[in-house]
Amino acid sequence: MNVNHLFDLSGRTALVTGSSRGLGRAMAEGLAAAGAVIILNGADKGRLDEAVAALTAAGYNARGLRFDVTDEAAVIAAFEMLDAEGVEVDILVNNAGIQFRRPMLDLETSDWRRVIDTNLTSAFVIGREAARRMARRGRGKVINIGSLTSELARATVAPYTVAKGGIKMLTKAMAAEWGELGIQANAIGPGYMLTDMNQALIDNPTFDAWVKGRTPARRWGRPDELAGTCVYLASAASDYVSGQIIYVDGGMISML
Ligand code: NDP
């Protein structure tokens, strides 16, 4: 049996939110390497332009689409612009996210809402816009980015934990409602990864030792280590897989 074709994304277009850097950028590069045309997204124009230039220079078919994932009007306008150009999104990766560390007793409601809006509500809004269009073609792949906090609470990141727990159930709800439309929805739960989001923790020797001690792999994850799982969930290899969350965490969730 030849299985290579199952992972071939030639002829597919993927939108990866928050792909100007970090995990989103690595997943976008993985999808591009599997043959997909990539639409990169971010809020900051400079970082987005730099990411598009880097992927293009590497020989990939990539473009940028800048919008704030929390701005519903901007999201809808972006999809309408793609409609006008005849661009169809076959693969959506809802990756854009922020983390905000503060104990709940000191947390402002506006900060709670900002974290929930960026990490969870955006995945619903962008997922809905993508799925309405995927439904017309009878196929599509939605990949939402969860976290270990989809399962576990950690102190000082309550709204993040609630948002990522919500991502897990949003993924199941999408799978339940959209399966008959030919759309699979799954999630990836990264462990502790080497990105800007974690820079303060990486630089903190106590936290660094905690991560290495608690992770069976005894190290942080590299962003490129998400690429294979992302390609799998975006490809025909996962056509009968839906509603799942796959942890890419060096085994940490089994040990905590
Ligand atoms: P980074 O902080 O390195 O990158 C975040 C990305 O999201 C950037 O591209 C940023 O764009 C974009 N972004 C943030 N807010 C918005 C917004 N309002 N609109 C558009 N784009 C936005 O984060 P990571 O790569 O580490 O994280 C990516 C995802 O993975 C997040 O959902 C995070 O919660 C999740 N995750 C990360 C883990 C880790 O260990 N790093 C572990 C588990 C989950 P810009 O450059 O314009 O700011």
The domain spanning residue 90 has which CATH number?
3.40.50.720
Residue 95 in contact with ligand 1 by CB distance below 6 A: yes
Cβ-contact 187, 150 below 8 angstroms: yes
Give which of 159, 169, 211 is closest to 190, Cα–Cα: 211
Q: 139: CA distance to ligand 1 center in Å?
A: 27
As to burial, measured by CB atoms within 10 angstroms (0-12 exposed, 13-18 middle, 19+ buried), residue 58 is exposed
The protein residue with its alpha carbon nearest to ligand 1, atom 27, reads 23
Q: pLDDT band for 188, please (50, 70, 90 cuts).
A: very high
Q: Which of 160, 192, 232, 247 is catalytic?
A: 160
pLDDT at 256: 66
pLDDT at 255: 85
| Interacting residues of 52 by C-beta distance below 8 A, sequence separation 6+ | 40, 62, 63, 64
> Maximum Cα–Cα distance for the chain, whole Å?
58
pLDDT in tens, 226-251: 999 999 999 999 999 999 999 999 99
Query: What is the pTM (predicted TM-score) of this model?
Result: 0.99
Ligand 1 pocket mutation pick from 23, 45, 147 by most atoms within 8 angstroms of CB: 23
**Residue 16, Ramachandran bin (φ over 0: left; ψ between -120 and 50: alpha; else beta):** beta
Calculate what percentage of the chain has a pLDDT beyond 90: 99
**For residue 145, which phi and psi values (nearest 5 degrees)?**
-100, 115
Q: 67: CA distance to ligand 1 center in Å?
A: 14
Question: Half-sphere exposure of 89 toward its Cβ, with a 13 Å CA cutoff?
Answer: 30
Q: 4: CA distance to ligand 1 center in Å?
A: 31
* 99 CA closest ligand 1 atom index: 34
pLDDT in tens, 140-149: 999 999 999 9
Mean predicted lDDT score pLDDT of the chain = 98
Query: Annotated catalytic, 160?
Result: yes
ipTM over 0.90? The verdict is: yes
Stretch 197-216: mean pLDDT: 97
Residue 68 in contact with ligand 1 by CB distance below 6 A: yes
pLDDT at 245: 98
Residue 140 in contact with ligand 1 by CB distance below 6 A: no
| Interacting residues of 252 by C-beta distance below 8 A, sequence separation 6+ | 148, 191, 192, 214, 215, 216, 217
> How many folded domains does the chain comprise?
1
Type of residue found at 122: S
Q: pLDDT band for 156, please (50, 70, 90 cuts).
A: very high
Type of residue found at 76: I
**For residue 212, which phi and psi values (nearest 5 degrees)?**
-65, -35
The protein residue with its alpha carbon nearest to ligand 1, atom 19, reads 68
Cβ-contact 242, 46 below 8 angstroms: no
pLDDT in tens, 97-142: 999 999 999 999 999 999 999 999 999 999 999 999 999 999 999 9
Range of the domain at 158: 4-254
Residue 239 in contact with ligand 1 by CB distance below 6 A: no
Q: pLDDT band for 94, please (50, 70, 90 cuts).
A: very high
Can you tell me the distance from the alpha carbon of 104 to that of 125, in angstroms, rounded to the nearest whole number?
A: 27
